[in-house]
């Protein structure tokens, strides 16, 4: 079901049983665009006010909260959820089962592996020296490995790797890599113990 108030651009391929609510815009052209297609997988739910740019390939059972913004040329797997008012920039890889809560910011060149979880207001970064004349030539995305969990209001600095199964406590500022299955908290975040499960 596609709302009458939604705008669907050409080159958009919509799967079966997809719901696109009021005032969504799907397939928005971007600067330098050629003939990139936008694919929305079966069973997806795009909630009101969401904007999805052209060139995204999105798997099955995708869903957004209201007013999510997904820029161009991202690869998004199956069963991914993006919360209300979250912003995803371009050239991002999001694997299956990822949960992104409300008001999360994800910049270019980020990789989110399977089943990782980002709490509300998490900010990932990719520019070590913002406003530098060559900043765009030196962007370094964050890598969050499988099953890692990032607590609410945390900030992850450019190029940081969060290991498999790791847990970042709420409000942390992560300035260096965190290895697998560790809990890290604070500013700057430090490992406090192993995860015992």
| Same domain, yes or no: 132 and 70 | no
User: Is position 101 within any domain?
Assistant: no
Return the DSSP state at 156.
E
182 and 150 within one domain: yes
pLDDT at 12 over 70: yes
Q: Distance of CA 67 to CAs 49, 64, 70, 141, 190, Å?
A: 4, 8, 10, 24, 34
pTM of the model: 0.95
CA distances from 131 to 31, 96, 134, 137, 139 (A): 21, 34, 8, 12, 12
CB of 47 within 8 A of CB of 82?
A: no
Asked if the structure places residue 108 within a domain, the reply is no
**Average pLDDT across the chain, whole number:** 96
- The mean pLDDT of 85-94, rounded to a whole number, is 98
Q: What is the pLDDT of residues 139-192, one digit of tens each?
A: 899 999 999 999 999 999 999 999 999 999 999 999 999 999 999 999 999 999
In degrees, to the nearest 5, what angle opens at C-alpha 184 toward C-alphas 181 and 190? 125
Q: Would residue 100 count as lying in a domain?
A: no
* CATH code for the domain of 158: 2.160.10.10
Average pLDDT score over residue span 52-79? 98
Q: What are phi and psi of 158, to 5 degrees?
A: -55, 140
DSSP state of 11: T
Q: Across the strands, what pairs with 39? A: 13, 57
CA-CA-CA-CA torsion for 95, 73, 173, 149, nearest 10 degrees? Answer: -10
Q: Does residue 102 sit within a domain?
A: no
Residues 76 and 158 grouped into a single domain: no
Q: What is the pLDDT of residue 197?
A: 65
Looking at the structure, tell me whether residues 9 and 86 fall in a common domain: yes
DSSP 2: B
Residue 104 lies in a domain: no
The total number of structural domains in the chain stands at: 2
Look at residues 64, 61, 60, 74 and name the one whose alpha carbon lies nearest to residue 25: 64
Please indicate, yes or no, if residue 76 is contained in any of the structural domains: yes
Work out the pLDDT band at 129, boundaries 50, 70, 90.
confident
Helix (H, G, I), strand (E, B) or coil at 130: coil
Q: Which residue has the higher pLDDT, 51 or 129?
A: 51
Q: Specify if 144 maps to a domain.
A: yes
For 154, the domain range is 113-197
């Amino acid at each position: 079901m596609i709302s009458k108030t939604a705008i669907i651009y050409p080159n958009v391929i919509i799967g079966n049983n997809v719901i696109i609510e009021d005032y969504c815009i799907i397939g928005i052209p971007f600067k330098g665009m050629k003939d990139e297609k936008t694919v929305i997988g079966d069973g997806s739910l795009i909630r009101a006010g969401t904007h999805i740019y052209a060139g995204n390939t999105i798997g099955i059972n995708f869903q957004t909260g209201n007013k999510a913004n997904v820029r161009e040329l991202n690869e998004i797997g199956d069963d991914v959820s993006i919360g209300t008012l979250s912003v995803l920039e371009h050239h991002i890889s999001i694997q299956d089962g990822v949960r992104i809560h409300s008001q999360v910011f994800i910049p270019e060149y980020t990789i989110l592996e399977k089943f990782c979880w980002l709490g509300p207001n998490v900010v990932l970064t990719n520019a070590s020296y913002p406003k530098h004349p060559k900043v765009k030539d030196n962007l370094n995305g964050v890598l969050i490995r499988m099953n890692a969990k990032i607590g609410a209001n945390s900030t992850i600095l450019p190029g940081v790797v969060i290991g498999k199964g790791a847990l970042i406590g709420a409000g942390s500022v992560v300035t260096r890599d965190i290895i697998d299955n560790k809990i890290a908290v604070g500013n700057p975040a430090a490992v406090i113990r192993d995860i015992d499960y």
